[in-house]
Chains A and B, each alone.
Chain A
Amino acid sequence: MNATWRRRAQAGLKEFACVLPVAWYPALFVYFRNCAEASFAQVWFPLGLFTAAAAAFFLAFAGVARHAAAGGLAAMAALLLAAFWRPVEQFARDLCWTVRYWHLVPLALVGLGLLAAALSWAARRRGVRLERVRTVFAALFAGLIVFNFVRAAPVLADQMRDALRVAAAVPESPPTPAGGEMPNVYFIVLDEYAPFDQLEKYYGVRPVEFEAFLRERGFNVSATSRNPAFYTADVLAGLIGMAPPEKVTRFTVTADRRLDKLVDCPSQETVIRESRLMEFFKARGYVVYVASMLGDIFNVPTPLRADEWFVLPHDQRGISLENTVAAAVLERSAFEPLRYLLPVDVHFYNRMVEGIFRWIEEAGTLKSPRFLWAHVTCPHGPYLFEADGRWRHEPGGNDDPGHYLEQHRYVSWRVARALDALLAQDPGGVVLLMSDHSIRRNFRLPVDDMARIFMAVYCRGEKLDVEGLSGLDAEWLVLNRLFGTEFPVVRGPRPLAGEVP
């Protein structure tokens, strides 16, 4: 390679290096904002995708412009447009609804090519110093990456400390309760299952058949229960940690009590890993069974301790992009159609939901005494069930509230069927059936409504006053009744723990 080519290659690499901070910013921004939930391994795919896109854009536009710096600047513009594509596409469709993705992408590429040519002309004919402009942009985005890293540093430091911390010691075995009774206990959490009055408020309907089923089967149902949080992680931390969590998601509210800003989103992984609720039952001689969709479907680390985990048969397992950095970056970007090319199985969600309900139905065959924890992320999205249980071919979008109602209806009859079978086998068992929060509609509803929960407790057919109790207080009430513990049950609504005045 002669000196000219070497110089050109070096200049090209230098320009490309300036494009990389712009290419990496979208994925790193999403990661640093969500590092409490996401692992760094999720960043590699979007980083790789945007790096490849940066290379393709740079080579194409530098070739069109015959000017490396012009190509670099046009590549930066292309990457920013690609990363924040959704609002641009929406704006264009608002102007002319027949315009679609396959019109806009070629138009954008042609437009950026013309931009590269124009920048090259400006550099050659007018002496514009494009190198200075590209340095400013590169420094700006590098600075933004560092800024977001610094903001996330406390969370990352906490995670490193937690990873090194020794797990909590197993509590000593307490004496067996008087009479030696050890009923099977089933704790079922239905994610985002709205209580009946909230469903009536937002949809004008009430699941009367499910209400009648609960009444006839001897469930104690609360009409006014509320949790002190409406984020799943915070609620689960309380239930599994058996105490109000030390750290919760903090937020401010508007004058009409809707979510304004998030202030802090701490990780609850340590509490989950300690699994105090599971250890409580294990210490009393229970076999602990756990089913959770958070890890497989929503990629939220859920290292619960259990003797046995629910898993789908190997040929029914799948891959989910839900709640990953890749999905968050892709779905807003111009590369969103690539999601459909990835080996992701959208109906993995359906198989998990149906599998867990079947597992609950057949729980009579499991070892006794047993504690069964099942967290079913339904009717929480993705919306892949029709009301009669048929699978949608594609997930229903969040913009149509009818999809949530369909899934709520499905869960109502499906969980009733599961409980009917379970109680037929185990009428002396105890069932705590609750939701973690109510319908949220992308967190646009009033915070007090989002914190409302569905709550129903079956305690061996006995009466139990659960009216107005939070999920944790209901758990404490049941444990006090079964095991003679003295947890301080609080009657009446607890204030929202994360609200910042």
Chain B
Amino acid sequence: MSRRAAGLVFALAFGVYLWNANEWVPRWLKAPDEQSLRKAAPLADLPAAEPFAIDDLELNPGTRLQKVFLLGWILPPPAWREPGAGATSCEIVFQSRRAEYRVAPEAQERKDIRDIFGVENPAAATGFRARFSPVAMKKGYYRMGVVVRAGTNDLAVAWASHVFIQDRHGFRIR
């Protein structure tokens, strides 16, 4: 390959890397117990999921990867709490006018929540824990929700009261 051609290929590859780096680099650098943000299709209208709670939310806009730490729980719809109902999971969704992103958190066993609310379905996820980098998110104001899913189907969503802003000062609560 001539030097000019090699230079062009390199420049092209470099350009592709620069364009996608904000998405790729956090994914390459994430720790084993962390999750990746991904772009998602707009959320359809879903019934409200309740109750739910955010137990802990930590933001780090001053750091390079601006890791967000999130801990909470949510109950599946009543029909999914009974024994024999299928498995459910949850995803964290960040929605703005321009874009939507999702994170698949790590499931947490919340026996206290199960006992209090009588969730007898052992395959129904209740607690969640997420740690991820939001640097790939476009500029804007975001609301955060927790979506209950069965497989790839969204069942219900609960919206948190927090509004986040992503801009030059980092990802933080408005």
Contact = CB atoms under 8 A, between A and B. Distances in A.
A491 interface: no
Contact of A400 (B18, B62, B139): B62
A124 interface: no
B60 interface: yes
Contacts of B21: 100, 102-103
A397 to B, nearest CB: 3
A246 B139 CA distance: 55
Interface in B37-73: 56, 58, 60-64, 67, 69
Contact of A100 (B60, B61, B64, B167): B64
A106 B62 contact: no
A390 B62 contact: no
Contacts of B63: 394, 397
Central interface residue in A93, A337, A396, by most chain B CB within 10 Å: A396
B148 interface: no
A101 B63 CA distance: 11
Nearest to A337: B64
A382 B17 CA distance: 35
Interface in A388-405: 390, 392-394, 396-397, 399-400
Contacts of A399: 62
Contacts of B56: 390
Q: How large is the interface on B (under 10, 10 to 19, 20 to 34, 35 or more residues)?
A: 20 to 34
A98 interface: yes
A100 B22 contact: yes
Interface residues of A, number: 20
Interface string B116-151: 000000000000000100010001000000000000
Interface in A76-96: 93-94
Contacts of A263: none
Contact of B67 (A101, A337, A394): A394
A392 B62 CA distance: 14
A25 B73 CA distance: 53
B169 to A, nearest CB: 8
A81 to B, nearest CB: 17
B22 A393 contact: no
A485 to B, nearest CB: 48
A393 B64 contact: no
Mostly helix, strand, loop or mixed at chain A's interface? mixed
A106 B22 contact: no
Nearest to B168: A97
A146 interface: no
Contacts of B18: 103, 106-107
Given A106-B17, A393-B67, A100 B135 contact: yes
Interface in A320-354: 337
A394 B139 CA distance: 24
Interface string B12-27: 0010011001100100
A197 B169 CA distance: 30
A97 B14 contact: no
Contacts of A110: 14
Contact of B58 (A97, A107, A393, A400): A393
B106 to A, nearest CB: 15
A93 B168 contact: yes
B19 to A, nearest CB: 10
Nearest to B24: A102
A106 B167 contact: no
Contacts of A102: 21-22, 25
Contacts of B69: 393
Contacts of B22: 98, 100, 102
A247 B62 CA distance: 37
B102 to A, nearest CB: 21
Contacts of A97: 139, 167-168
A107 B19 CA distance: 13
User: Across chains A and B, which 10 residue pairs bring their CB atoms closest together, nearest first?
Assistant: A397-B62, A97-B168, A102-B25, A394-B60, A102-B21, A101-B64, A393-B69, A103-B18, A103-B21, A399-B62
30 contacts: A97-B139, A97-B167, A97-B168, A98-B139, A100-B21, A100-B22, A100-B25, A100-B135, A101-B64, A102-B22, A102-B25, A103-B18, A103-B21, A106-B14, A106-B17, A106-B18, A107-B18, A110-B14, A337-B64, A390-B56, A393-B58, A393-B67, A393-B69, A393-B131, A394-B60, A394-B67, A396-B62, A397-B60, A397-B61, A400-B62
Given A100-B64, A102-B21, A103-B21, 8 more contacts: A97-B167, A110-B14, A337-B64, A390-B56, A397-B61, A397-B62, A400-B61, A400-B62
